[in-house]
């Protein structure tokens, strides 16, 4: 309305029940080409949710348009008596409908009498379905037998229009400590200083708001980059989650009067970080050691000193449970809890006026990939259903720009919706298939082998993996006792009898069989046997087996671990 102040807005209305029926029918006919059966209830749930979100958006936007500048048109009028509708639109818009335009419109409509049903006819012909019968108002009418409707494909309508974003974005191995010489403007008044987890600056008419602060040694870089943009006071620092790469630079970035804001579960993650700092540092060193060393040396050269700030221990001044609204210098900033992110204190920053969402690592460090429901470096389990709810909460905002924790933002409301829908459905599928397998009596290793995502739920596996999430869901529900062996209940592992196996079978025989497994393309079988034998021949074989696995790996954590094992056995 601000761009076109003299415009008249046309609102078209259709019975939402009819919309849902039509959508389900179209998807059913389309999916019948490649599926034998469908869960009709799933289709109903998806389209009911989608129509509800669209209606809410319509109600929201409808209230912004004055009655004298709007026209309401029933859907039946679009498919029915077109000329009176055209006259209404021109009259309400204040535009003369000349005889020339009337004649041109009438001629066009006469030339294509089936125009209102042509799309339905074409679609049905293409799918070998009989031509629909025209109802009185000219719309297509198709009846559907719910017992034979194909299985659901809720992402199809929007996601199919877009190539999965993970295919064109950098992987986690491209994440580096803060090294940029200057901040980059992503949108008016929104700046990014990239690092191990990006820091963001929001400028306002009354000071600055900073989102995340990086690691301790990155703090001075982020501060310098943001000061070069705007050196007004830092009013707020918002922490989107309690992991160390978000909070570590706090002391370098804050001012004396800065208010630090976080979700109320922040103390849990601060305390975890403090009590387990040595353990977690040692367990993640194999993946980040070289990257950190190179990055720290670069920052030392930039700042001209070898003395860099230590990791900050966060102290939060303002926390909240579910939502919090900040008004700063004419800018409205809404914070929403998303406990299904990497931590239960995760939050997103929503700028409603700009329709921009800063989601941090809510969906993991690399967007478009399956979430890591438990990390191999060691962390608390993350609940799949809570993750789904958090994805839906962000999707329901309908952002037009999604600013992630790393790399470039995702732009376009339809694309963002498609990506979040695909991600949500992928997590739901993994969860449901795992639960179904558990109830069917299958063990976790079998399910890790069997469960894979169908093409319509294609997401990356560059940080988490489907098989790992299957195991995380299993153990989050059932715990560590898998009912495989009594020995699980006692502090005596298989390594206690490994020497007995070697003595009985012979080291040479074990290694020969391990080599045979490796030659047959079974590197994991080879590792099981070679790990029993403590000698140089076994280490050489282990190195070869890990190299075989590495050749097929596209996952950051998996690749880092395999490289670490290759080095350890070389």
480 or 44, which is more confident: 480
- At residue 160, the pLDDT reads 54
For residue range 136-157, list pLDDT tens digits in order.
333 333 333 333 323 334 444 4
Quick one: average pLDDT of 478-502? Answer: 96
**Range ranked top by mean pLDDT from 102-111, 117-126, 499-508:** 499-508
**Cβ-contact 555, 462 below 8 angstroms:** yes
Q: How far is CA 103 from CA 82, 92, 100, 113, 345, in A?
A: 13, 20, 5, 16, 64
Q: Could you give the CA distance from residue 495 to residue 542 in angstroms, rounded to a whole number? A: 17
Which residues are CB-neighbours of 415 under 8 A, at least 6 positions away? 162, 165
How many other C-beta atoms can be found within 10 angstroms of the C-beta atom of residue 47? 21
Quick one: average pLDDT of 474-478? Answer: 97
Q: Could you give the CA distance from residue 477 to residue 456 in angstroms, rounded to a whole number? A: 27
- At residue 41, the pLDDT reads 66
β pairing state of 318-320 and 259-263: parallel
Listing DSSP states for 161-180 in one string gives: TS--GGGGS--GGG--SS--
Predicted confidence band of residue 123 (pLDDT cuts 50, 70, 90) = very low
Tokens of 143: 């009846």
Q: Is 7 helix (H, G, I), strand (E, B) or coil?
A: coil
Q: Could you give the CA distance from residue 335 to residue 324 in angstroms, rounded to a whole number? A: 5
Which residues are CB-neighbours of 36 under 8 A, at least 6 positions away? 150, 151
Handedness of CA 480, 485, 490, 495 (dihedral sign): negative
Quick one: average pLDDT of 309-320? Answer: 93
Predicted confidence band of residue 22 (pLDDT cuts 50, 70, 90) = low
**Cβ-contact 230, 208 below 8 angstroms:** yes
- At residue 69, the pLDDT reads 74
- At residue 336, the pLDDT reads 98
Q: Could you give the CA distance from residue 366 to residue 172 in angstroms, rounded to a whole number? A: 6
222 or 53, which is more confident: 222
Residue 14 has pLDDT above 70, yes or no: no
Quick one: average pLDDT of 379-401? Answer: 96
Residue 114 has pLDDT above 80, yes or no: no
Q: Is 220 helix (H, G, I), strand (E, B) or coil?
A: helix
Q: How far is CA 112 from CA 78, 100, 106, 115, in A?
A: 15, 19, 10, 5
Quick one: average pLDDT of 536-553? Answer: 96
Predicted confidence band of residue 30 (pLDDT cuts 50, 70, 90) = low
Quick one: average pLDDT of 91-110? Answer: 68
HEC per residue, 59-118: HHHHCCCCHHHEEEEEHHHHHCCHHHHHHHHHHHHCCCCCHHHHHHHHHHHHHCCCHHHH
- At residue 506, the pLDDT reads 96
Of 77-81, 340-344, 513-517, the one with minimum mean pLDDT is 77-81
**Cβ-contact 162, 425 below 8 angstroms:** no
For the chain, the maximum distance between any two Cα atoms, rounded to a whole number of angstroms, is 101
Residue 512 has pLDDT above 90, yes or no: yes
Predicted confidence band of residue 98 (pLDDT cuts 50, 70, 90) = confident
The burial of 567, by beta-carbon neighbours within 10 Å (0-12 exposed, 13-18 middle, 19 or more buried), is given as: exposed
For residue range 413-429, list pLDDT tens digits in order.
999 999 999 999 999 99
Q: Could you give the CA distance from residue 115 to residue 108 in angstroms, rounded to a whole number? A: 10
- pTM of the full structure: 0.72
Q: Could you give phi then psi for residue 325, rounded to 5 degrees?
A: -115, 130
Residue 334 has pLDDT above 80, yes or no: yes
- At residue 43, the pLDDT reads 66
- At residue 239, the pLDDT reads 97
Cα R_g (the chain), whole angstroms: 29
User: Which of 222-233 are b and which e, b meaning 16 or more Cβ less than 10 Å from the residue's Cβ?
Assistant: bbbbbeebbeee
Predicted confidence band of residue 237 (pLDDT cuts 50, 70, 90) = very high
For residue range 47-89, list pLDDT tens digits in order.
677 777 777 777 766 767 777 777 776 655 554 456 666 676 6
Quick one: average pLDDT of 482-490? Answer: 96
Quick one: average pLDDT of 85-95? Answer: 69
Q: What kind and span of H or E run contains 417?
A: helix 413-439
- At residue 28, the pLDDT reads 60
90 or 34, which is more confident: 90
**Range ranked top by mean pLDDT from 5-9, 83-87, 213-217:** 213-217
Residue 122 has pLDDT above 50, yes or no: no
Q: Could you give the CA distance from residue 219 to residue 309 in angstroms, rounded to a whole number? A: 8
**Cβ-contact 187, 331 below 8 angstroms:** no
Residue 488 has pLDDT above 90, yes or no: yes
Which region holds residue 151: left if phi is over 0, alpha if psi is between -120 and 50, else beta? Answer: beta
Residue 400 has pLDDT above 70, yes or no: yes
CA angle 285, 291, 294 (to 5 degrees): 125
- At residue 39, the pLDDT reads 61
Among residues 19, 12, 10, 11, the alpha carbon closest in space to that of 52 is found at 19
Give the mean pLDDT of the chain: 85
Rounded to 10 degrees, the C-alpha dihedral 300/304/305/311 comes to -50
Among residues 233, 228, 28, the alpha carbon closest in space to that of 127 is found at 28
Q: Could you give phi then psi for residue 141, rounded to 5 degrees?
A: -125, 120
- At residue 48, the pLDDT reads 74
């Amino acid at each position: 309305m601000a761009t076109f102040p003299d415009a008249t807005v046309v609102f078209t209305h259709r019975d939402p029940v009819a919309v849902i029926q039509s959508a389900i029918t179209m998807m059913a006919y389309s999916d019948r080409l490649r599926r034998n059966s469908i869960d009709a209830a799933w289709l109903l749930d998806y389209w009911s949710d989608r129509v509800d979100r669209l209606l809410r958006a319509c109600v929201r936007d409808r209230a912004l348009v004055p009655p004298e500048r709007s026209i309401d048109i029933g859907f039946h009028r679009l498919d029915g008596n077109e000329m009176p509708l055209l006259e209404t639109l021109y009259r309400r818009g204040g535009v003369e409908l000349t005889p020339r335009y009337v004649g041109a419109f009438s001629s066009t409509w006469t030339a294509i009498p089936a125009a209102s049903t042509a799309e339905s006819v074409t679609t049905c012909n293409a799918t070998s379905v009989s031509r629909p019968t025209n109802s009185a108002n000219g719309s297509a009418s198709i009846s559907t037998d719910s017992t034979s409707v194909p299985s659901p494909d809720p992402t199809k309508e929007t996601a199919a229009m877009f190539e999965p974003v993970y295919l064109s974005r950098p992987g986690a191995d491209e994440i580096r400590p803060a090294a940029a010489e200057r901040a980059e403007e992503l949108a008016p008044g929104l700046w990014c200083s990239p690092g191990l987890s990006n820091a963001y600056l929001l400028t306002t008419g009354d000071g600055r708001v900073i989102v995340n602060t990086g690691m301790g040694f990155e703090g001075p870089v982020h501060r310098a980059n943001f000061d070069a943009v705007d050196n007004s006071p830092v009013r707020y620092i918002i922490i989107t989650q309690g992991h160390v790469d978000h909070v570590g630079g706090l002391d370098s970035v804050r001012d004396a009067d800065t208010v630090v804001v976080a979700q109320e579960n922040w103390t849990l993650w601060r305390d975890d970080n403090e009590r387990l700092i040595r353990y977690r540092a040692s367990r993640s060193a194999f993946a980040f050691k070289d990257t950190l060393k190179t990055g720290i040396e670069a920052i030392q050269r930039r700042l001209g000193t070898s003395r860099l700030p230590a990791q900050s221990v966060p102290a939060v001044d303002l926390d909240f449970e579910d939502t919090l609204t900040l008004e700063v210098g004419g800018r409205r900033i809404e914070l929403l809890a998303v406990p299904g992110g990497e931590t239960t204190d995760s939050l997103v920053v929503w700028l409603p006026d700009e329709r921009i969402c800063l989601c941090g690592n809510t969906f993991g460090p690399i967007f478009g990939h399956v979430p890591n429901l438990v990390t191999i470096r060691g962390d608390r389990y993350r609940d799949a259903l809570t993750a789904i709810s958090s994805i839906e909460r962000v999707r329901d905002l309908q952002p037009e720009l999604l600013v992630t924790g790393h790399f470039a933002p995702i732009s376009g409301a339809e694309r963002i919706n498609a990506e979040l829908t695909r991600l949500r459905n992928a997590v739901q599928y993994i969860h449901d298939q795992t639960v179904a397998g558990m109830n069917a009596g299958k063990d976790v290793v079998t399910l890790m082998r069997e469960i894979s995502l169908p093409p319509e739920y294609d997401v990356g596996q560059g940080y988490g993996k489907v098989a790992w999430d299957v195991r995380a869901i299993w153990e989050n529900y059932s715990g560590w006792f898998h009912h495989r062996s009594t020995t699980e209940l006692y502090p005596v592992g298989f390594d206690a009898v490994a020497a007995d196996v070697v003595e009985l079978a012979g080291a040479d025989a074990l290694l020969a069989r391990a080599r045979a497994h490796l030659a047959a393309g079974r590197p994991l079988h080879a590792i099981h046997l070679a790990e029993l034998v403590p000698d140089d021949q076994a280490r050489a074989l282990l190195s070869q087996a890990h190299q075989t696995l590495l050749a097929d790996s596209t996952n950051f954590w998996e690749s880092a671990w395999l490289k670490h094992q290759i080095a350890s056995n070389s």
